[in-house]
Structure 1
Amino acid sequence: MQSQDSAGIFSPLAADDPRVIAGYRLTARLGAGGMGKVYLSYTPGGRPVAIKVIRPEFSEDAEFRRRFKQEVQSAQRVQGLFTAPVIDSDADGPTPWLATAYVPGPSLAAAVAEHGRLPVPTVLLLVAGIAEALQVIHGAGIVHRDLKPSNVLLAADGPRVIDFGIARAADATSLTSSGVTVGTPTFMAPEQAAGRAVTAATDIFALGQVAAYAALGTPAFGEGTSHGVLYRVVHEEPNLDGLPEELRELVTRCLTKDPEGRPSVADVIALCGAASGQTQLRRPEDWLPTAVAADITGRAAAPAPAPTPPPPLETPAVPPAPPTAPPAAAAQGAQGPNMPVQVPQQPSPTELSTPQTPPTGFGPAAAYAPTATGPVPPAPGTPGTPAAPGTTTVSAVTSPDGQPKKKRTGLMVSLVLIGLLAFAGAGGGAVYYFMKDDGKKSAQATGTTKNTTKTQPTTAPTGPATGTPSPSGSQQPPASPLPDPAAAEHKSINVADEYHLALSDEQLRPTDADHDTDRDFVYQDNSYSDDEVSTETGKLVLLNPGQKGSLETCRNETRFTTKIPTKRLGRGAQMCLTTNAGHLALITVKGYAPESDPSKYMTVDVTVWRNAVTAQENN
């Protein structure tokens, strides 16, 4: 169901791939097999699922559809610890499909192809887990028929068997008689190759082949043409040279030609326990070799992409309104060359002696109306009071009922309009700031208007500071970031234990710990803790599986750390490295040294952008 080969993990959708299947939005292609293609999607709740879409050739066969529907219904009853459950399907639509839970782990085929044969303890736990899966599958009345390394996924807590029972639907189609092969000859049982009845014992023979493949790294009956392999499966003995002694009895009994002579599922589990030297298998937390376990992280599906929100409605840009100024300030600010100022009539003694009520509403009149009863001292500029040099004072007057006098309404409107115009266009006008002082408002003049015959500019000069508002209310563009430097590509660098890379080196080459260079990227094989990569001169970020590694991504990331355990760095994992010297690097993990190699190292591709960010002082 969830076939993943070593060529890639999440492949982008091709032009001929569907985008949606029955409401499931497809985000990537996981692999392809003899019966169809497998895609990554998500449930409405955001859980990743693997969706297998059946090939059109099979979809056109009515007998295939009938059997496919029966087998899927049976598969949905299988709920084992070591199986990937079928959660949804459709056998009647234009294109049959089924969905299973997504398992974040490489297939056994991909793990062996990448890292070589597995150690004995891992093989015993692998076979015992597959046997438990077959126990549940057979209990539901299903024979797998196509048990092979690509149908066994290696998860962190044990194997997962996928695609159980689906091959039976293809056995009935006319395509099989015309040369289309659904099963894999290398892992078929003799009775299956000869076209005889298929039983649960058929899966036991395939399990023996899977065990031999995991321990040897090659198929027990060799490779080559389908006819040659099938002949050896039926007539010859398997080649088990190099098979560890602990596994010999288990594998030999499973590969018995006669189905009646093969062990049962329960016998297989007992044989695994005996070979491990225990009465009961115990699954350690790290049952996989380090290099294989590291591949699991790279296959963790990214969170479901959020639906694209509609673009926001554009609103017209409105210049910010100038702050409200007192009439006196407006009048002073409006003063300019050849610009007369209207001065209202001074209030009569009767008006000044009448108790005043604060007017309702807002605006300059409300802000400046007298709030105390009794005689009010004459304002500056009235008879008997000298006016401040170079200024003209305007006072607002209210009627006894607290409302502005009607005969002064037009005057007040004129003054407000003059104030607004003065604030927007006059240079050198008086500006007033209102400050709270013990609950009282006071106005402080910060400048005065000079009488001059020269024409003053009607707009303020643009300031040099970034983001300073211009007269129209817009802002100056922000300062430009550093230019994008050229990328330097370095492929397949083997960084050995305790060696490091310095991004400032033109020829990026691992250097040992004693060499006096910047330890920008260090790989360490720790004996008493997790292996890790680290940096001593910058910051690291582990990108999410769904992120695209690029200069822009690395510039914007802020989830900084200085150490990352290698168990989180599977094949294809990417890291951003930012050094204090201002260099950026995208580091892609290609793999690790196989178990058989005497050296410990990790293989990486490195893309370097030098002087891509502002340099920081070394800590």
Structure 2
Amino acid sequence: MTTATATAVHSPQQQLAPGVSVLELLHEGHRINVYDAWSTDRGCRVVAKALRPDHAGDLKGARQLRAEGRVLRSLNHPHIVRWYETIREPSPVLLLETISGFTLSALLEEHERLPIRDVLHLGLHLTSAVGYLHRQGWLHLDLKPSNVVADAGRAKLIDLSIARRPGRGVPGAGTRGYLAPEQSLGHQLSAATDVWGIGGVLYESIVGEPAVPHESGTSTATGQRPGHLIAVPATLKTRRRVPPDVAQMIDASLRLDPAQRPAIIDFATVLAAALGINQVPHVR
């Protein structure tokens, strides 16, 4: 369990809302904490996202929870975390399904990198989930290893807290080290922004290091100094264990100019071909 000050987290057995009690802290955030919790009404464990006790009156955090709930409520996809309920009173609490397995960041911390075949399957799951998001009119904008949970060969996207419609972004809104250049600068955000995110996750899964080096322990930030992430990632094309077409596609997804990045359907087609799969999941 993550160590934290008493005022920053709810204690085990403490109620987040009527019928929802804390079992364990999963993640302590700047405004919002994530808990393993028990729902009496549902008779099962749930993942609960709630404001930190020392941020009980945080209007921005409350809006963020309600907004994420509205997005997730409209979605139904096997590779995206499932929404159960948004409790509004006395303070917003978001209830989500409990997912078995480990975050990709935890797997990479333990194993450093993944087998290529696992990376290819991961890529297919991500392109399927993100392609679905795009068809619903949303961008994820925070694709990174800690927002992917993997178990028994299946990956799921979690944390849609900054998902939004395409359009001009806020400079630096997202996570340091995982921002597409246009995200860092507050330029126009589009499907290509998430293509960068998918490429970055696959790159790190293959290499064991982020495509764009960043300080460890950094978290979601808004308004960070925009110039420091505008760097060309090292290419994968010289790595012998990566199928050439896959390496070329990942490298293309990390191009600085979003107009030069591949479409998600093309990304998925190359990944499927490398696995010998003829039918590509619908990701347009």
Give the TM-score category using the shorter length. Answer: 0.7 to 0.9
Contact 2:32 2:49 in 1 (8 A): yes
Aligned residues: 261
Distance in 1 separating the partners of 2:195 and 2:155: 16
For the residue of structure 2 that corresponds to 1:147, the secondary structure is: coil
Residue 202 (str. 1) matches residue 193 (str. 2): yes
CA gap of 1:201–1:35, structure 2 versus 1, over 3 A, is farther
C-alpha displacement of 1:275 = 2.5
CA gap of 1:86–1:45, structure 2 versus 1, over 3 A, is closer
Determine which of 12, 29, 32 is the counterpart of 1:33: 29
Determine which of 74, 77, 82 is the counterpart of 2:79: 82
Residue 248 (str. 1) matches residue 243 (str. 2): no
Letter in structure 2 aligned against 1:195:
G
C-alpha displacement of 1:274 = 2.1
Unaligned segments of structure 2, at least 5 residues: 165-169
Distance in 1 separating the partners of 2:123 and 2:143: 12
C-alpha displacement of 1:250 = 2.0
CA gap of 1:67–1:114, structure 2 versus 1, over 3 A, is closer
In structure 2, the partner of 1:218 is: 209
C-alpha displacement of 1:11 = 5.6
CA gap of 1:101–1:280, structure 2 versus 1, over 3 A, is same
Contact 2:116 2:242 in 1 (8 A): no
C-alpha displacement of 1:68 = 4.4
CA gap of 1:239–1:104, structure 2 versus 1, over 3 A, is same
Contact 1:186 1:230 in 2 (8 A): no
C-alpha displacement of 1:228 = 11
Determine which of 157, 162, 169 is the counterpart of 1:167: 162
Residue 69 (str. 1) matches residue 59 (str. 2): no
Residue 139 (str. 1) matches residue 135 (str. 2): yes
Structure number with greater CO (CA < 8 Å, separation at least 6) is 2
Contact 2:139 2:194 in 1 (8 A): yes
CA gap of 1:51–1:188, structure 2 versus 1, over 3 A, is same
For the residue of structure 2 that corresponds to 1:103, the secondary structure is: coil
Contact 2:255 2:261 in 1 (8 A): yes
In structure 1, the partner of 2:167 is: none
What is the percent sequence identity of the aligned residues? Answer: 27
C-alpha displacement of 1:34 = 4.3
Letter in structure 2 aligned against 1:274:
A
Q: Mapping of 1:26-425 within 5 angstroms?
A: 26-43=22-39, 44-55=41-52, 60=57, 62=59, 65-66=62-63, 68-90=65-87, 92-164=88-160, 166-168=161-163, 183-224=174-215, 231=227, 233-234=229-230, 236-240=231-235, 243=239, 244-246=241-243, 247-280=246-279
Contact 1:75 1:86 in 2 (8 A): yes
Distance in 1 separating the partners of 2:56 and 2:20: 19
Q: Mapping of 1:523-534 within 5 angstroms?
A: none
Larger radius of gyration between Structure 1 and Structure 2? 1
Letter in structure 1 aligned against 2:233:
P
Contact 1:79 1:85 in 2 (8 A): yes
Contact 1:48 1:102 in 2 (8 A): yes
Letter in structure 1 aligned against 2:15:
V
Letter in structure 1 aligned against 2:154:
G
Q: Mapping of 1:402-551 within 5 angstroms?
A: none
For the residue of structure 2 that corresponds to 1:222, the secondary structure is: coil
Letter in structure 1 aligned against 2:159:
D
Note the alpha carbon deviations across 1:236-292, whole angstroms, 9 max, x for none: 31023564431311211211222222222222211101233442479xxxxxxxxxx
C-alpha displacement of 1:65 = 4.1
Distance in 1 separating the partners of 2:196 and 2:265: 14
Distance in 1 separating the partners of 2:153 and 2:173: 30
TM-score scaled by structure 2? 0.80
For the residue of structure 2 that corresponds to 1:134, the secondary structure is: helix
For the residue of structure 1 that corresponds to 2:25, the secondary structure is: strand
Contact 1:131 1:269 in 2 (8 A): yes
CA gap of 1:105–1:76, structure 2 versus 1, over 3 A, is same
RMSD: 3.1
Note the alpha carbon deviations across 1:202-240, whole angstroms, 9 max, x for none: 111111000000000001112349899964642x31023
